[in-house]
Structure 1
Amino acid sequence: MKKLSFGLATALACAAPAWAVPLNGLKGQGLNAIYGSYAPRGDCTAEPRLSIDDSGFTFRANGRVVKSVRVEQALSYLGPDYRGISLVFFPFPVSDDDFGPVVMKVNDGERRGVIRLEADFAPGRRVDPFQVALTRSSPYSRCAAAKR
Protein backbone atom coordinates (compact mmCIF):
# COMPACT_ATOMS: atom_id res chain seq x y z
CA MET A 1 0.00 0.00 0.00
CA LYS A 2 1.35 3.43 -0.92
CA LYS A 3 1.53 6.12 1.71
CA LEU A 4 -0.32 9.33 1.02
CA SER A 5 1.68 12.47 1.50
CA PHE A 6 0.41 14.72 4.27
CA GLY A 7 -0.50 17.44 1.73
CA LEU A 8 -2.44 15.06 -0.51
CA ALA A 9 -4.21 13.49 2.45
CA THR A 10 -5.18 16.94 3.73
CA ALA A 11 -6.56 17.90 0.32
CA LEU A 12 -8.59 14.71 0.15
CA ALA A 13 -9.95 15.32 3.65
CA CYS A 14 -11.55 18.55 2.52
CA ALA A 15 -13.61 16.64 -0.06
CA ALA A 16 -15.08 14.11 2.37
CA PRO A 17 -17.35 14.58 5.40
CA ALA A 18 -15.10 12.38 7.58
CA TRP A 19 -11.68 11.09 6.65
CA ALA A 20 -9.03 9.09 8.47
CA VAL A 21 -5.80 8.02 6.83
CA PRO A 22 -3.87 4.97 8.04
CA LEU A 23 -0.24 5.71 8.81
CA ASN A 24 2.32 2.95 9.21
CA GLY A 25 4.89 4.95 11.12
CA LEU A 26 5.32 8.71 10.95
CA LYS A 27 8.52 9.04 8.94
CA GLY A 28 8.05 11.31 5.95
CA GLN A 29 4.59 12.47 7.04
CA GLY A 30 5.65 16.03 7.90
CA LEU A 31 4.94 15.53 11.60
CA ASN A 32 8.45 16.10 13.03
CA ALA A 33 7.25 19.12 15.03
CA ILE A 34 5.25 16.84 17.34
CA TYR A 35 8.10 14.39 17.98
CA GLY A 36 9.18 14.14 21.59
CA SER A 37 8.24 12.72 24.97
CA TYR A 38 5.09 13.70 26.85
CA ALA A 39 3.72 13.06 30.33
CA PRO A 40 1.23 14.60 32.75
CA ARG A 41 2.68 17.98 33.82
CA GLY A 42 5.70 17.23 31.58
CA ASP A 43 7.22 14.86 34.17
CA CYS A 44 8.71 12.00 32.16
CA THR A 45 10.23 10.36 35.23
CA ALA A 46 6.87 8.72 35.98
CA GLU A 47 4.12 6.87 34.15
CA PRO A 48 1.99 7.16 32.18
CA ARG A 49 3.92 8.79 29.38
CA LEU A 50 4.18 8.66 25.62
CA SER A 51 6.79 9.23 22.94
CA ILE A 52 6.36 10.21 19.32
CA ASP A 53 9.04 9.55 16.69
CA ASP A 54 9.52 8.28 13.13
CA SER A 55 8.28 4.82 14.06
CA GLY A 56 4.99 6.01 15.60
CA PHE A 57 3.67 6.32 19.15
CA THR A 58 4.98 4.52 22.23
CA PHE A 59 2.75 4.49 25.31
CA ARG A 60 3.86 3.51 28.83
CA ALA A 61 1.37 2.90 31.64
CA ASN A 62 0.67 0.32 34.34
CA GLY A 63 4.13 -1.18 33.79
CA ARG A 64 3.32 -1.95 30.13
CA VAL A 65 4.80 -0.55 26.94
CA VAL A 66 2.61 -0.47 23.83
CA LYS A 67 3.99 0.61 20.47
CA SER A 68 1.36 1.91 18.03
CA VAL A 69 2.99 1.72 14.63
CA ARG A 70 -0.25 1.69 12.63
CA VAL A 71 -2.42 4.63 13.59
CA GLU A 72 -5.21 6.53 11.90
CA GLN A 73 -4.86 10.27 11.40
CA ALA A 74 -8.31 11.84 11.50
CA LEU A 75 -7.84 14.64 9.01
CA SER A 76 -11.37 16.02 9.08
CA TYR A 77 -12.15 15.42 12.78
CA LEU A 78 -12.01 19.14 13.57
CA GLY A 79 -14.13 20.08 10.55
CA PRO A 80 -13.44 20.64 6.85
CA ASP A 81 -12.46 24.31 7.29
CA TYR A 82 -10.11 23.80 10.25
CA ARG A 83 -6.72 25.50 9.73
CA GLY A 84 -5.15 25.39 13.22
CA ILE A 85 -2.19 23.47 14.62
CA SER A 86 -4.10 20.66 16.34
CA LEU A 87 -3.87 17.14 14.93
CA VAL A 88 -6.12 14.20 15.76
CA PHE A 89 -5.17 10.52 15.74
CA PHE A 90 -6.77 7.21 16.63
CA PRO A 91 -3.74 5.52 18.23
CA PHE A 92 -5.33 2.11 18.85
CA PRO A 93 -7.32 1.13 15.75
CA VAL A 94 -9.05 -2.23 16.04
CA SER A 95 -9.82 -2.77 12.35
CA ASP A 96 -10.39 -0.83 9.13
CA ASP A 97 -13.95 -0.13 10.30
CA ASP A 98 -13.25 0.45 14.00
CA PHE A 99 -10.78 3.16 15.00
CA GLY A 100 -10.93 2.11 18.65
CA PRO A 101 -12.21 4.05 21.64
CA VAL A 102 -9.24 6.40 22.17
CA VAL A 103 -8.85 9.77 20.45
CA MET A 104 -5.50 11.56 20.69
CA LYS A 105 -5.47 15.33 20.15
CA VAL A 106 -1.98 16.75 19.60
CA ASN A 107 -1.50 20.49 20.20
CA ASP A 108 -4.85 20.33 21.97
CA GLY A 109 -6.65 23.64 22.24
CA GLU A 110 -4.11 25.21 19.86
CA ARG A 111 -1.39 24.80 22.52
CA ARG A 112 1.89 23.42 21.17
CA GLY A 113 3.25 20.50 23.16
CA VAL A 114 -0.08 19.54 24.77
CA ILE A 115 -1.70 16.17 24.08
CA ARG A 116 -5.14 15.13 25.25
CA LEU A 117 -6.23 11.49 25.20
CA GLU A 118 -9.98 10.95 25.38
CA ALA A 119 -12.00 7.77 25.27
CA ASP A 120 -15.47 6.72 24.29
CA PHE A 121 -15.83 3.41 26.06
CA ALA A 122 -19.11 2.12 24.66
CA PRO A 123 -21.45 0.27 27.02
CA GLY A 124 -20.85 -3.46 26.86
CA ARG A 125 -17.43 -3.05 25.28
CA ARG A 126 -14.46 -4.52 27.13
CA VAL A 127 -12.41 -1.69 28.58
CA ASP A 128 -8.63 -2.00 28.42
CA PRO A 129 -7.14 -0.89 31.79
CA PHE A 130 -4.06 0.35 29.91
CA GLN A 131 -6.17 2.73 27.81
CA VAL A 132 -8.13 3.83 30.89
CA ALA A 133 -4.86 4.73 32.65
CA LEU A 134 -3.73 6.76 29.64
CA THR A 135 -6.97 8.71 29.30
CA ARG A 136 -7.41 9.38 33.03
CA SER A 137 -3.96 10.97 33.22
CA SER A 138 -4.60 13.38 30.36
CA PRO A 139 -3.58 16.05 29.42
CA TYR A 140 0.09 15.42 28.67
CA SER A 141 2.76 18.08 28.18
CA ARG A 142 6.06 17.85 26.36
CA CYS A 143 8.74 16.84 28.83
CA ALA A 144 11.08 19.57 29.99
CA ALA A 145 14.18 18.02 28.43
CA ALA A 146 12.36 17.64 25.10
CA LYS A 147 10.78 21.11 24.80
CA ARG A 148 11.55 22.92 21.58
Structure 2
Amino acid sequence: MRALLFAGCLLLPALSCIPAVHAVEITGMKDFPNLQGRYAPGGDCKRQPRITIDASGMAFEVEGHSERVAQLEYAASYGGNFYEGSSQWFFPFGRDGAYPILMTFNADEKAGVLTIAPHDEGYAGGPPLTPRNRALVAGSPYLRCR
Protein backbone atom coordinates (compact mmCIF):
# COMPACT_ATOMS: atom_id res chain seq x y z
CA MET A 1 0.00 0.00 0.00
CA ARG A 2 2.83 2.41 0.82
CA ALA A 3 4.44 1.69 -2.52
CA LEU A 4 1.16 2.59 -4.26
CA LEU A 5 0.87 5.87 -2.35
CA PHE A 6 4.51 6.69 -3.08
CA ALA A 7 3.99 5.97 -6.81
CA GLY A 8 0.89 8.19 -6.77
CA CYS A 9 2.86 11.04 -5.20
CA LEU A 10 5.50 10.75 -7.91
CA LEU A 11 2.86 10.72 -10.65
CA LEU A 12 0.95 13.82 -9.55
CA PRO A 13 3.69 16.34 -10.42
CA ALA A 14 4.12 14.70 -13.82
CA LEU A 15 0.40 14.98 -14.55
CA SER A 16 0.45 18.67 -13.71
CA CYS A 17 2.93 19.19 -16.57
CA ILE A 18 0.53 17.88 -19.21
CA PRO A 19 -0.56 20.92 -21.24
CA ALA A 20 -4.24 21.74 -21.36
CA VAL A 21 -5.90 22.20 -24.72
CA HIS A 22 -7.72 25.50 -25.00
CA ALA A 23 -10.47 26.13 -27.52
CA VAL A 24 -11.46 29.68 -28.33
CA GLU A 25 -14.93 30.53 -29.58
CA ILE A 26 -14.74 32.39 -32.88
CA THR A 27 -17.26 33.88 -35.27
CA GLY A 28 -16.56 33.05 -38.90
CA MET A 29 -13.28 32.12 -40.56
CA LYS A 30 -12.15 35.59 -41.69
CA ASP A 31 -8.89 35.18 -39.76
CA PHE A 32 -8.03 31.97 -41.65
CA PRO A 33 -7.91 32.97 -45.34
CA ASN A 34 -5.43 30.19 -46.17
CA LEU A 35 -8.05 27.58 -45.16
CA GLN A 36 -10.89 29.07 -47.20
CA GLY A 37 -12.18 27.13 -50.18
CA ARG A 38 -14.23 24.05 -50.99
CA TYR A 39 -13.34 20.57 -49.78
CA ALA A 40 -14.73 17.18 -50.78
CA PRO A 41 -13.67 13.53 -50.56
CA GLY A 42 -10.63 13.15 -52.80
CA GLY A 43 -11.00 16.78 -53.94
CA ASP A 44 -13.95 15.85 -56.20
CA CYS A 45 -16.62 18.49 -55.56
CA LYS A 46 -19.22 16.39 -57.37
CA ARG A 47 -19.12 14.13 -54.31
CA GLN A 48 -20.59 14.68 -50.86
CA PRO A 49 -20.06 15.52 -48.12
CA ARG A 50 -18.84 18.92 -49.30
CA ILE A 51 -17.50 21.60 -47.00
CA THR A 52 -17.11 25.26 -47.89
CA ILE A 53 -14.98 27.54 -45.76
CA ASP A 54 -15.34 31.30 -46.24
CA ALA A 55 -14.99 34.44 -44.16
CA SER A 56 -18.46 33.99 -42.63
CA GLY A 57 -17.87 30.42 -41.41
CA MET A 58 -18.35 26.86 -42.60
CA ALA A 59 -21.06 25.29 -44.75
CA PHE A 60 -21.65 21.54 -44.79
CA GLU A 61 -23.53 19.69 -47.53
CA VAL A 62 -24.33 16.19 -46.32
CA GLU A 63 -26.75 13.80 -48.01
CA GLY A 64 -28.59 16.64 -49.74
CA HIS A 65 -28.92 18.81 -46.62
CA SER A 66 -27.06 22.08 -46.04
CA GLU A 67 -26.00 23.49 -42.71
CA ARG A 68 -24.09 26.69 -42.00
CA VAL A 69 -21.96 27.23 -38.90
CA ALA A 70 -20.77 30.72 -37.94
CA GLN A 71 -19.95 30.14 -34.24
CA LEU A 72 -17.29 27.48 -33.73
CA GLU A 73 -14.34 26.60 -31.55
CA TYR A 74 -10.75 27.03 -32.68
CA ALA A 75 -8.47 24.65 -30.77
CA ALA A 76 -5.65 27.18 -30.67
CA SER A 77 -3.31 25.11 -28.50
CA TYR A 78 -4.15 21.61 -29.75
CA GLY A 79 -0.63 21.02 -31.06
CA GLY A 80 0.99 21.88 -27.73
CA ASN A 81 3.01 24.83 -26.48
CA PHE A 82 5.87 24.51 -28.94
CA TYR A 83 3.97 23.37 -32.05
CA GLU A 84 5.14 25.25 -35.15
CA GLY A 85 3.51 23.23 -37.93
CA SER A 86 0.73 24.19 -40.32
CA SER A 87 -2.11 22.02 -38.99
CA GLN A 88 -5.05 23.84 -37.41
CA TRP A 89 -7.89 22.30 -35.43
CA PHE A 90 -11.57 23.26 -35.15
CA PHE A 91 -14.71 22.00 -33.46
CA PRO A 92 -17.63 23.13 -35.64
CA PHE A 93 -20.53 21.70 -33.62
CA GLY A 94 -19.51 22.15 -29.99
CA ARG A 95 -22.08 22.77 -27.29
CA ASP A 96 -21.82 22.81 -23.52
CA GLY A 97 -18.21 21.61 -23.61
CA ALA A 98 -18.98 18.61 -25.87
CA TYR A 99 -17.32 18.55 -29.27
CA PRO A 100 -18.62 15.64 -31.37
CA ILE A 101 -16.06 15.90 -34.20
CA LEU A 102 -12.61 17.40 -34.72
CA MET A 103 -11.62 19.01 -38.03
CA THR A 104 -7.90 19.16 -38.82
CA PHE A 105 -6.87 21.46 -41.65
CA ASN A 106 -3.47 20.87 -43.25
CA ALA A 107 -3.60 17.43 -41.66
CA ASP A 108 -0.25 15.67 -41.43
CA GLU A 109 1.33 19.02 -42.41
CA LYS A 110 -0.10 18.71 -45.97
CA ALA A 111 -1.64 21.89 -47.37
CA GLY A 112 -5.20 21.47 -48.60
CA VAL A 113 -5.86 18.25 -46.67
CA LEU A 114 -8.76 18.22 -44.20
CA THR A 115 -9.52 15.30 -41.92
CA ILE A 116 -12.57 14.86 -39.73
CA ALA A 117 -12.39 12.47 -36.80
CA PRO A 118 -14.75 11.53 -33.96
CA HIS A 119 -14.05 13.40 -30.75
CA ASP A 120 -16.83 13.33 -28.13
CA GLU A 121 -18.98 10.91 -30.15
CA GLY A 122 -18.28 7.58 -31.80
CA TYR A 123 -15.85 6.06 -29.32
CA ALA A 124 -16.22 2.72 -27.51
CA GLY A 125 -18.71 3.12 -24.68
CA GLY A 126 -19.64 6.67 -25.66
CA PRO A 127 -22.51 8.18 -27.57
CA PRO A 128 -22.73 7.15 -31.22
CA LEU A 129 -21.99 9.57 -34.02
CA THR A 130 -25.10 11.32 -35.31
CA PRO A 131 -25.92 10.53 -38.95
CA ARG A 132 -24.45 13.88 -40.11
CA ASN A 133 -21.24 13.37 -38.14
CA ARG A 134 -20.95 9.74 -39.24
CA ALA A 135 -21.16 10.86 -42.90
CA LEU A 136 -18.57 13.61 -42.33
CA VAL A 137 -16.14 11.17 -40.67
CA ALA A 138 -16.71 8.56 -43.41
CA GLY A 139 -15.87 11.13 -46.13
CA SER A 140 -12.48 11.92 -44.60
CA PRO A 141 -9.88 12.73 -45.78
CA TYR A 142 -11.04 15.72 -47.80
CA LEU A 143 -8.97 17.65 -50.29
CA ARG A 144 -9.40 21.17 -51.60
CA CYS A 145 -11.54 20.88 -54.73
CA ARG A 146 -9.77 20.73 -58.08
The TM-score normalised by the length of structure 2 is 0.80
Aligned length: 125
Matched, 1:37 2:38: yes
Match of 1:74 in 2: 75
Identity level (%): 37
Deviation at 1:127, TM superposition (A): 3.0
| 1:71 counterpart SS class | strand
Match of 1:132 in 2: 134
Whole-Å separation in 1 of the counterparts to 2:135 and 2:80: 28
Whole-Å separation in 1 of the counterparts to 2:117 and 2:40: 15
| 1:22 counterpart SS class | strand
Structure 1 outlier segments of 4+, above 2 Å: 122-127
- 1:54-93 to structure 2, matched below 5 A, reads 54-93=55-94
Match of 1:113 in 2: 112
Deviation at 1:80, TM superposition (A): 1.1
**Which whole-Å deviations, capped at 9, do the CAs of 1:27-82 have from their partners, x for residues lacking one?**
2x2x1011000001100012111010011111111111111111100011111110
Deviation at 1:21, TM superposition (A): 0.5
Assess, with a 3 A threshold, how the Cα gap between structure 1 residues 107 and 124 changes in structure 2: closer, same or farther.
Answer: closer
Look up the equivalent residue of 1:119 and give its one-letter code: P
Look up the equivalent residue of 1:111 and give its one-letter code: K
Deviation at 1:124, TM superposition (A): 4.8
Deviation at 1:126, TM superposition (A): 5.0
Whole-Å separation in 1 of the counterparts to 2:129 and 2:76: 26
Unpaired segments ≥5 residues, structure 2 = 1-18
Look up the equivalent residue of 2:139 and give its one-letter code: S
| 1:42 counterpart SS class | coil
Look up the equivalent residue of 1:142 and give its one-letter code: R
Aligned partners of 1:17 and 1:80 also within 8 Å: no
Whole-Å separation in 2 of the counterparts to 1:124 and 1:33: 34
Match of 2:50 in 1: 49
Q: Which of 20, 23, 42 is 2:23 aligned to?
A: 20
The TM-score normalised by the length of structure 1 is 0.79
| 2:34 counterpart SS class | helix
